[in-house]
Amino acid sequence: MIRNAEKEDAEKILAIYSYYVKNTAISFELDVPSLDEFQGRIVRTLERYPYFVLEEKGVILGYTYAGVFKNRAAYDHCCEVSIYVERHAKGRGYGRMLYEALETALKKAGVLNLYACIADPVTEDEYLTMDSEHFHSHLGYTKVGRFHNCGYKFNRWYNMIWMEKIIGEHQKN
C-alpha cells in the first residue's frame, strides 16, 4: 500500500535512511539527522509537495518525496525528487511503484520536469555503485549534468550527477 507520509512515520522512515547515511555514499549527509530534525523535514515537505511511504503488512519499506528544485517562481513546474527503499527490500519493484505514485501526484499539481540529484562514483566501491543511476535510467530519466569530486565521504571523493525526466507538455499559458 502506498499512502501519504505523516510526521508520525518519521522514526520508521529515518530507520531506512540512517542505513544509507552511515554505510553508503548514496547520501552525502555525514551524520544521521535527529528524529526531531527528520520530523521537521517531513512536515515542511508536506506543506507544498507529496511525500509517500510504501507499506507491506504495516511495515514501511520505502519512501519518496518531492522538493524545491530552485527557489524561484520560474521553476514552479520543476521538482527535485528523492527515493529510498529499505535495503533488504530492493528488487521487488517498490521503487518503481513509489515513483509512479509520486509522478502521478506531481502531474496533477502541474509539475513538468523532475530532477534527481544522485551520488556518482568516480570508481565503484563498497560505499557507492551506479545502481541509482541505472534505476533512474530504467524509469526514463536522462543524465543532464555531472559535478566532479564534489562530495567527500569515507575518506574519498565522489561525483554527483543530475538526471531529468519530463512528465508533461510544456505549453505557453
* Pairing status of strand 78-85 against strand 59-68: antiparallel
**What was the pLDDT predicted at 172?**
83
**Residue whose C-alpha cell is 505514485:** 101
CATH number of the CATH domain containing 145: 3.40.630.30
User: Would 93 be classed as within a structural domain?
Assistant: yes
> Does residue 171 lie in a domain region?
no
The answer as to whether 172 is a domain residue is no
Q: Is residue 69, in this structure, part of any structural domain at all?
A: yes
Task: Provide the pLDDT for residue 151.
Answer: 97
The reply to whether 94 falls in a domain is: yes
Q: What is the DSSP letter of 109?
A: T
Span 138-156, pLDDT tens digits: 999 999 999 999 999 999 9
pLDDT, mean over the chain: 96
pLDDT band at 90 (very low <50, low <70, confident <90, very high): confident
Q: Is residue 56 part of a domain?
A: yes
Q: State which residues form the domain around 85.
A: 2-166
Residue 79's pLDDT band (cuts 50, 70, 90): very high
For residue 123, name the pLDDT band (cuts at 50, 70, 90): very high
The grid cell for 45 is 515537505
Q: How many domains does the chain have?
A: 1
Determine, yes or no, domain membership for 46: yes
Tell me: pLDDT of 173 over 80: no
Residue 63 in any domain: the answer is yes
